[in-house]
Amino acid sequence: MEAWSSYLLKPESFPPSYRSFLNKHVGKDQVILQGVKEHASALPYTNLEAIENFFKAKGADVKLDPNMKIPCSMIHGNQACSSHVFTFFSEAYKRSLPVYLPVYLIPTLIVHHQGLLKRPYTILGKSLLGTTRSSLFLSAYTASAWMWTCMVNRFWGKCDIPIVAMGTFPTGLALAIEKKSRRIEISLYCLARAIESLFTCMADVGYLPKSMNLKRADVVIFSLSTAIIMHCYAQEREVFRSKYLCVLDWVFGVPPPPCETPPCKNR
């Protein structure tokens, strides 16, 4: 996916909050990411010694060749590419669980607080299943991103910007782990971040005038999106999925329509 390659090559093109999220789940120290960026961009190395010291602190004696063709030793030290994927995946899953547990649990407690008294195992079971599946997606995505990066680098025998982009594209296949509704949500979110990164990069290299690099354009987009959502909520409620409509009704304190009340359903 474009967002991953943009993060490796130009992380400053993302907003700080999203960059902080990626910093955690990419699972690599900043000195390693800087080294990979310099290698792919054909820039002089500035921190090979820092990378070696990083691995030394982890108990691995790694010597990096300034003339290396591919940066595998920079990414995972003396560990083989294949074994690195499995160890990274297990660590990534541990990082992902704390992220998705509140994402599923809090809405469950808010939206289904009454149903929890009647069907606690069913409702909590679905919440835990969603947490497990989404954590599996994120860990598989990040692990496969490094796997494909190593595979493509070794296949071509080099690492440059087009190859980094080529290697990160198949990682999107991990999205198949998620259910359909979540796939759509994640795709739209990543698309927005990718477009933002693309325009930032184009403005930085001079393909776009600086006047088009709007500050806080995300606020403008959010305002327009909120206006559209509120219009549809007021005038065309049928366009919403039932769960989203239920959440909006709860937020705004709107009682359910007569046909959705328990007495009506029991007729």
pLDDT at site 132: 95
Is residue 254 one of the residues assigned to a domain? no
pLDDT at site 75: 92
Is residue 84 one of the residues assigned to a domain? yes
Tokens at 69, concatenated = 């063709």
Q: At what angle do helices 161-168 and 30-40 cross, to 10 degrees?
A: 120
Which stretches of the chain score pLDDT less than 50? Answer: 260-267
Identify whether the C-beta of residue 25 lies closer than 8 Å to the C-beta of residue 88. no
Chain position carrying tokens 């994402």:
103
pLDDT at site 243: 74
Spell out the residues 6+ positions from residue 15 whose beta carbon is closer than 8 angstroms to its own.
193, 196, 218
Tokens at 154, concatenated = 């070794």
Question: What count of other Cβ atoms lies within 10 Å of the Cβ of residue 230?
Answer: 12
pLDDT at site 216: 65
Spell out the residues 6+ positions from residue 37 whose beta carbon is closer than 8 angstroms to its own.
8, 9, 43
Contacts of 13-18 with CB under 8 Å at 24 or more apart are 13/196, 13/197, 13/200, 13/201, 13/204, 14/193, 14/196, 14/197, 15/193, 15/196, 15/218, 18/193
How many domains would you assign to the chain? Answer: 1
Identify whether the C-beta of residue 157 lies closer than 8 Å to the C-beta of residue 72. no
Tokens at 181, concatenated = 């509704």
Is residue 263 one of the residues assigned to a domain? no
Sign of CA dihedral 216, 221, 224, 229: negative
Is residue 76 one of the residues assigned to a domain? yes
pLDDT at site 187: 87
Spell out the residues 6+ positions from residue 147 whose beta carbon is closer than 8 angstroms to its own.
81, 85
Is residue 230 one of the residues assigned to a domain? no
pLDDT at site 168: 82
pLDDT at site 265: 46
Is residue 221 one of the residues assigned to a domain? no
For residue 156, what are the domain limits? 2-213
Is residue 205 one of the residues assigned to a domain? yes
Residue ranges of the alpha helices (H) in the chain?
2-9, 16-25, 30-40, 48-57, 72-76, 81-111, 115-118, 120-156, 161-168, 180-204, 217-235, 242-252, 262-265
Is residue 75 one of the residues assigned to a domain? yes
Picking from 33, 235, 263, 257, the residue whose alpha carbon sits closest to that of residue 142 is 33
